[in-house]
A and B are shown apart, each in its own frame.
Chain A
Amino acid sequence: MIPENLRDNPVASALDSVALTTKFEFNELTIEVAPVNIVEALRRVKHELNFERLSTVTGVDRYPAEPRFEIVYHLQSIAGKQRLRLKSRLSGENPEIESAFAVYRSANWYEREVFDLFGVRFLNHPDMTRIMLPDDWVGHPLRKDVPVTGTRY
């Protein structure tokens, strides 16, 4: 559902069929889509709306709330000089989402980082391994149930 004030926004209307919520705050457009629709939404954003760049992919842990994880995509249209935030919420139980790599190759390392630090698995990613931490590391440190100091949790 598009809110009244975003009816004229071409990006919001083009993504209306996949959007769960659409909001415009701090001059920034945020569209939430269901995890199953994320690649479809990204494809549309890239090919129809001409957002050439995927700036970053990251996660937010809402522990102990459910759905626990938010996967956040920041996109930029160089020609249109605008930015867009796409979002998907995942449950804390075995979090998985389709990789954006098939649409934007820059997602490669960003998704590896999210996997490394949040433990969210990206399906059909070419190299789903840890990127920052050693391969034998146990746990995912950016999760909210991991303490900042100490090792026990």
Chain B
Amino acid sequence: MSADDSAVLTDGGITSELEVEQDYEKHTHTRSGTQSMVLNMGPQHPSTHGVLRLLLELDGETILKAAPDIGYLHTGIEKEFEVKTYQQGVTLTDRIDYLAPLSNNLVYCLAAEKLLGLEIPPLAQWTRVMLAELTRLNSHLVWLGTHAIDIGAMSVFLYCFREREEILRIFEMFSGQRMMTSYFRIGGLALEPPRGWQKRVRDFVDIFPSRVDEYEELLTSNRIWTGRTKGIGYIPLADMIDLGVTGPMLRAAGLKIDIRKDAPYSSYEKFDFDVPTRTENDVFARYAVRVEEMRQSTKIIRQALEGMPSGSHQADAPGIVLPDREKMKTQMEALIYHFKIVTEGFRVPEGEVYQAVESPRGEVGVYMVSDGTQKPYRVHWRGPSFGNLQAIPKMIEGTLIADVIAGLGSMDFVLGDTDR
């Protein structure tokens, strides 16, 4: 590292598993004169939200070194993409980050559409924005509920899941699925928006802001909550950027970064919303940022609801978009296209693209390489959780073990997204 680098960045925070194990074998003596203890937290610890294993070297309750061990949920999804046609690949994306399926559908479709040069009709774009924001609410609600339960506030979980249920019902109404939606397809939407969705969504956005007030009443000035979260989980901003952290974590450290604003996609530039930031850079600030994001997302959903354009829900791209069911039964050409797309897929021009989208957790990116055939040559998934998790040792080394739980919760990672 050059002198330049060390001026901004602090040392440490890249402990390896081996290092912890070696320390243990060497019988390293701690300041208190006793031998340090190595504790395995996870992979089944409830607060690791999935199967994260943390190797902690402890001196009493203080963490000397921490080494995250991931890979327990590795499912080889990147390899699987290579044997699926482009259209089939959409269904894999839901399963990567299962709390934000529609953000993942969106980034995958946008990447493929960039390669194909497809123009997406306004109705599809606005519906995508609306559902992507509902996904953000869905994910933030699960995060808030489980984060609060980890810290000891049981009842918040019940409140959050009440609203999440309503969001899942909306997803089901649109796509027929509650979690693995696969509703966005290359070229538009899988189905036309269902009849009566406006009422369902309006009822939700009318009630939701008051529900956010309820969560805040339970937590924001709760003395136990503030005691457990304020001043905890600090990581210097320069280190976070260098370690690959994205999303609400950076915004809670005062950096106004949001892909929806910086490089708008799917007509986000037409929506009016703010990017909330805080400067305290602790667990509480991350909580405050996410709560404010919920309010901003509601604002976006309301705008999408009120200004929803009319028109087709799919691009005019025969051979890529599945033909209308009615046309398929009456027109020869449509039937041929349908048969071709379903049996062998469509060809995508040669090239490589990187598309990034602001998921609830940060930057989710897809690097897609096409060799001109019906199947992607390579799809790399840049999951936000993977990047964020790298900062764990930096955050918890030197702090108390009880703060690990609060710190991990504030990162809001999903192991499916980390391991892929």
- Seen from chain A, the residues whose Cβ lies within 8 Å of a Cβ on chain B are 25-26, 28, 30, 43, 47, 52-56, 58, 60-61, 72, 74, 78, 81, 83, 85, 102-106, 108-110, 117, 126-127, 129-134, 141-142, 148
| Chain A residues near B377 (CB-CB < 8 A) | 60
* B241, B365, B369, B380: the one within 8 Å of A78 (CB): B241
| Chain A residues near B80 (CB-CB < 8 A) | 148
Complex contact A127–B18 (CB within 8 A)? yes
Q: What 1/0 mask marks residues of chain B from 280 to 318 whose CB sits below 8 Å from any chain A CB?
A: 000000000000000000000000000000000000000
Q: Does more than half of chain B's interface fall in helix, strand or loop, or is it mixed?
A: mixed
The residue among B4, B14, B380 with the most chain A CB atoms within 10 A of its own CB is B380
Q: Assess A132 versus B74: contact at CB under 8 Å? Given A25-B351, A55-B365.
A: yes
- Seen from chain B, the residues whose Cβ lies within 8 Å of a Cβ on chain A are 1-2, 4-5, 9, 13-14, 16-18, 70-71, 74, 76, 78-80, 82-83, 114-115, 239, 241-244, 255, 257, 262-263, 351-354, 356, 363, 365, 367, 369, 377-378, 380, 382, 386-387, 389-390, 419
Q: Assess A55 versus B114: contact at CB under 8 Å? Given A30-B352, A102-B1, A127-B14.
A: no
Sample of 14 A–B contacts (CB below 8 Å)? A55-B244, A56-B367, A56-B380, A58-B367, A83-B354, A105-B14, A105-B243, A106-B242, A106-B390, A129-B16, A131-B70, A133-B71, A148-B79, A148-B83
Residue of A nearest to B15 (CB): A127
| Chain B residues near A47 (CB-CB < 8 A) | 4
Q: Assess A74 versus B367: contact at CB under 8 Å? Given A127-B14, A127-B16.
A: yes
* A25, A43, A55, A108: the one within 8 Å of B390 (CB): A108
Residue of A nearest to B262 (CB): A81
Complex contact A26–B114 (CB within 8 A)? yes
Residue of B nearest to A127 (CB): B16
Residue of B nearest to A52 (CB): B241
How far, in angstroms, from A30 to B78 measured CA to CA in the complex? 22
Complex contact B18–A53 (CB within 8 A)? no
Complex contact B365–A74 (CB within 8 A)? yes
Q: Smallest CB–CB gap between B149 and chain A, Å? A: 28
Q: Smallest CB–CB gap between A126 and chain B, Å? A: 6
CB-based A-B contact count at 8 angstroms: 101
Residue of B nearest to A131 (CB): B71
Complex contact B243–A106 (CB within 8 A)? yes
* B14, B71, B115, B356: the one within 8 Å of A132 (CB): B71
Q: Smallest CB–CB gap between B105 and chain A, Å? A: 20
The residue among B4, B17, B76 with the most chain A CB atoms within 10 A of its own CB is B76
Complex contact B263–A81 (CB within 8 A)? yes
How far, in angstroms, from A7 to B155 measured CA to CA in the complex? 61
The residue among B2, B378, B382 with the most chain A CB atoms within 10 A of its own CB is B378
Complex contact B244–A54 (CB within 8 A)? yes
Complex contact A109–B386 (CB within 8 A)? yes
How far, in angstroms, from A142 to B81 measured CA to CA in the complex? 11
| Chain A residues near B386 (CB-CB < 8 A) | 109
Complex contact A126–B16 (CB within 8 A)? yes
Complex contact B367–A104 (CB within 8 A)? no
Q: Smallest CB–CB gap between B391 and chain A, Å? A: 9
The 10 closest A-B pairs by CB, nearest first: A106-B244, A127-B16, A132-B71, A58-B380, A132-B74, A56-B382, A60-B378, A105-B242, A26-B353, A81-B262
Q: Smallest CB–CB gap between B15 and chain A, Å? A: 9
Q: Smallest CB–CB gap between A127 and chain B, Å? A: 4
Q: Assess A142 versus B243: contact at CB under 8 Å? Given A26-B114, A56-B367.
A: no
Complex contact A85–B79 (CB within 8 A)? no
Complex contact B79–A78 (CB within 8 A)? no
| Chain B residues near A103 (CB-CB < 8 A) | 5
Residue of A nearest to B389 (CB): A109
How far, in angstroms, from A83 to B114 measured CA to CA in the complex? 16
Complex contact B353–A129 (CB within 8 A)? no
Q: Smallest CB–CB gap between B381 and chain A, Å? A: 9
How far, in angstroms, from A61 to B17 measured CA to CA in the complex? 29
| Chain A residues near B263 (CB-CB < 8 A) | 81
Q: Assess A126 versus B14: contact at CB under 8 Å? Given A26-B351, A52-B241, A142-B79.
A: yes
| Chain B residues near A60 (CB-CB < 8 A) | 369, 377-378
Further pairs besides A56-B380, A74-B354, A106-B244: 14, Cβ < 8 Å: A25-B352, A53-B244, A55-B244, A56-B367, A58-B380, A72-B380, A78-B257, A85-B354, A104-B242, A104-B244, A105-B239, A106-B390, A109-B244, A129-B17
* A43, A52, A106: the one within 8 Å of B387 (CB): A106
Residue of A nearest to B74 (CB): A132
How far, in angstroms, from A81 to B264 measured CA to CA in the complex? 11
Residue of A nearest to B382 (CB): A56
How far, in angstroms, from A131 to B74 measured CA to CA in the complex? 10
| Chain B residues near A141 (CB-CB < 8 A) | 76, 79
Q: Smallest CB–CB gap between A59 and chain B, Å? A: 8
| Chain A residues near B79 (CB-CB < 8 A) | 141-142, 148
How far, in angstroms, from A54 to B382 measured CA to CA in the complex? 11
